Chain A
Amino acid sequence: MITTILLDALQYLGYILIFPGFLFCFLIGMLLCGIDRKLVARMQKRVGPPILQPFYDFFKLMGKETIIPAQANRTVFLVAPLFGLAALVVIQMFIPIFSFSAFSGMADIIVILYLLLIPALSAIMGAAATGSPYAGVGLSREMVVIISCELPLVMVLLAVAKTVGDALGVGLCFSLSDIAAYQAVNGSLITKLSMIPAALAFMMVIPGETGNHPFDAAEAETELCEGMLAEYSGAPLGVYKLSHAIKMLTLTSLFVALFLGGLGTGIVILDAIIMVVICVVLTAVCISLVHAITARLKIEQIFKYYWTVVSGLALISLVLAWYGL
């Protein structure tokens, strides 16, 4: 009795700390980040940093001195990065890797949508706590980007819920594990006509949510000096860089879970590898390629783009899903 409980506890601890939790997120997120930087460099005819550069950067930052500005609220300043990172790791554990999910039945897609706010929100709170005007402008833009992405994301998720719910005969289905199970049997959702615009919209949301080019108005290095990160240094900055890397993994793997769930094999390790490969491809297409060929948009342009073009695509999908196409 006690041994089974202990074993269960150990298993869950393993989930949280190693796979698909902290260690997995750390390694794959950093890898995605490194690949992204290399790809962008190659596309721009530069040599680019080694793929392991994000790891070097991270460990270098961990060893640096952390300066807390005299005006800052010390507690919020130091806790916010850690809290955001923890929240991200937890979301990653809720996203099923094809048929495998570490914690099934704890959160559905609407909850995931809101859990995704927590890392952004803790970054905003940390930035606000510094009192820096650069951070102030940065967080205001970050919030506008969040608002911009929210509308298309909501409609994409509702479209998915309706499509799967229709197919399962229950009307709607918000549960991620049910969506995964449905796709394992009936093939990936992206093969449905109504889901193609939604998938496109989601791909356009990915760079916005991660704050990559051309939607990086919030941290615009050249004008805002990294905006929300302006006052951060040392270990907390390293944690932010890590969170940014993990966010790329979270969003791309959420895409896989929502639209490409039919590619799984049933063997966890193989599934994880397949997922990582797709994540790399998605990162290359949605983040690196877009980064290399675009210039930064102004904040009001970002808002307009998301609420017209991307939301329009998502809306098409929602209407198609509504009529069962």
Chain B
Amino acid sequence: MNFFDYHHFPVYSIMVLFLGAFLIVLMGKNKTVRNIIAFAAMACSVACMLALFKPVMLEGEIISYWMGNRSIAGGYAIGIALEVDALGLFFGLLISSVVFVAGLYSFQYMSHDDNQQQYYTLFLMLAGGVMGLVLSGDIFNMFIMIEILTFAAVALTAFRNQVYGALEAAFKYLVVGSIGSTCILVGITILYAQAHTLNFAQLSLLIPGNLNNATKLAFALLYIGFSTKAFLVPFHPLAADAHGAAPASVSVLISGVLTKSGIYGIIRLTYFLFQTMGLGSMQFMLVFVGCVSMFVCVTMALAQHDFKRLLAFHSISQIGYVLTAVGLCTALGISSGLYHAMNHTLFKGLLFLAAGAVLHETGTTDLGKLGGLSKKMPQTTILFLIGAFSISGVPPFNGFASKWMIYQATYQKAVESGNIGFLLVTVICLVTSILTLASFVKVSQSVFFGQLPKEYENVKEVGLGMRFAMGLLALACIVSGLFPELVTTYITEPAAAAVFNVGNYISAMGFDGSAVAAGTVSFESVGVWTPVSWLLVLCIALLAITIVALAGKYDRVSAHEGGETVDTKYQLFYGGEENVFSQVGGDDLFWGFKHNWKGYFNFMHDMHSGIVNDYALWAVVALALAIVFTQIVL
């Protein structure tokens, strides 16, 4: 048996993470040993995924892997199987790399915390759980992995239990997360009862032709289960609490990894298991939930006054984009949705790490208390701005490239289907993007620019390890924004092709999937955008202007040079009033906007009561609606 055959790599990439977790429990008392084990586990996982890039993404191979050498017996696939197609690998690559970066960041970020042994154990368990989820080929293993990752995530949310609200957040997450997990379990049970198999490929073969009331119920249950994992509306308040309380490196995982696993589950459920996406009503459901998540969460984010809670709401808003694009059921839609999912992982990771850096140095993430940190933390500021511009869709960063494709996809869908509703979707997408920008202007004004409060005068730049991790993500944001063609050709199009060719997925497991219709993923972009040439022209123009400006003595500046007393001409202008600290920031920054929407904002404020009973109620209502909806339309 050749251990270095790439067919073993999927299972290695999961195994090393769990192995790392157990080893840290056993011998992780020493800091160096612990860090080496964690680093090695994460690096191996990434390496395994990268090694699969060529066969799976480029050559289109689908790897099916049976644990314990089992195989199909008597026409039923019973046993633990892994199946890696381009879609699974896409998510696997994304997850393992962001876990790696978050791990690198943790080494320094968590160095002042107690119980680091437990932290790394849980961290690797969470990572392993998500990897197992996206690579698993049978639905019951998916459930086990969901349980592992949910409980690891709950424990990590409450990891800093001395922080106000951490336990409460974890409790809420536990309650609603358990409702979601239970839904998934019940859904799986129903499917097993109906189809007598748990294998994904075989279910995809058996279920779509034989829909009955029971399998429709299973669909609703699984959908709700996966949307709790993705924190889609109405499960969004949990994310805000969890992100607010968890350490930044864990927030990166919750936002970049856990939500993606939910999206992955929904794609597998709708495109593979039930193959219902051809139905207009199914597309409507996903696009509707996507748009509501997008818009509600961006307005919720505008109203936040905590850095990390604000990011948490944005996280769901961006997931709304992904779901909307995926729900369009067009080649361009899925491709752009996956592209945005990737970009979201990168820029949101970067933003959470920047928030973590601020928390690490100042001890708070309250937008009302911070200000003026750009003079103290210049590099973090630049990195934060890259992330902020990416998420707001400012060209040429990656968020723009993928959002621009989503706008096209929605508008094209509107024209092709003749449904004016999709036109509204395009408008909502565009408006959400500008509101995202607004809330990041608020963050940059309240945290990095503006006036520096007295108590933060001794704040220093964060350590090199943390800046390095942020730098990696920032670089990825820029590169994937500058070369959208490369990303779509080599990464998202193979994954989109996998979504449209379910037959191949079924055949790879050993069943006859040739009856399942295959689709093509060729699409033509209706717009034009060549970021590299734009950047080139901009640089030349900037250079020319700078040369002219410098020749015209642009740098003939007079600045205040140290010293205690500041000459009045270097002081801020107060129109003759007394010079007092007057930072403008926090949640009142966009008063002009919120004033017109005060009914809406008050309603939202009342709705998000923070009481876990309410949120559990929402979950039950959502489940009821989903059940009714699926019984009617499927």
Partner-B contacts on A (CB < 8 A):
12-13, 16-17, 21-22, 62-63, 65-71, 73-76, 78, 82-83, 85-87, 89-90, 93, 103, 105-108, 110-111, 113-115, 117-118, 121, 124-125, 128-134, 136-137, 139-141, 143-144, 146-147, 150-151, 154-155, 158, 161-162, 165, 170-175, 217, 225, 230-231, 234-236, 239, 298-300, 302-304, 307, 318-319, 322
Contact = CB atoms under 8 A, between A and B. Distances in A.
B375 interface: yes
B543 to A, nearest CB: 9
B423 interface: yes
Contacts of B571: 69-70
A171 B400 CA distance: 23
B589 interface: yes
A90 B534 contact: yes
15 contacts: A66-B556, A68-B560, A107-B530, A130-B572, A140-B589, A141-B592, A143-B589, A147-B435, A150-B430, A150-B431, A158-B427, A171-B412, A300-B595, A303-B593, A318-B423
B529 A22 contact: no
B604 interface: no
B395 A118 contact: yes
B395 A115 contact: yes
A151 B431 contact: yes
A142 to B, nearest CB: 9
B545 A82 contact: yes
Contacts of B444: 125, 128
Interface of B: 371-372, 374-375, 378, 381, 385, 389, 393-395, 400, 404, 407-408, 411-412, 415-416, 420, 423, 426-427, 430-431, 434-435, 437-438, 441-442, 444-445, 448-452, 526-530, 533-534, 537-538, 540-542, 544-546, 549, 552-560, 566, 569-575, 582-585, 589-593, 595-596
Contact of B593 (A134, A147, A173, A234): A147
A82 B416 CA distance: 43
A78 B573 contact: no
Contact of A165 (B393, B415, B434, B596): B415
A211 B378 CA distance: 31
Nearest to A319: B420
Q: Give the dominant DSSP class at A's interface.
A: helix
B572 A110 contact: no
Given A21-B541, A106-B530, 7 more contacts: A63-B553, A65-B558, A71-B375, A82-B542, A115-B395, A131-B451, A174-B408
A231 B449 CA distance: 14
A208 B417 CA distance: 35
Contacts of B546: 82
A71 B527 contact: no
Given A22-B544, A70-B560, A143 B572 contact: no
A107 B441 contact: no
Contact of A174 (B527, B542, B582): B527
Contacts of A70: 559-560, 566, 570-571
Given A78-B557, A90-B534, A134 B573 contact: yes
B528 A90 contact: no
- For A21, A114, A132, which residue has the most chain B Cβ atoms within 10 angstroms? A114
A68 B592 contact: no
Given A68-B558, A117-B394, A162 B415 contact: yes
B538 A86 contact: yes
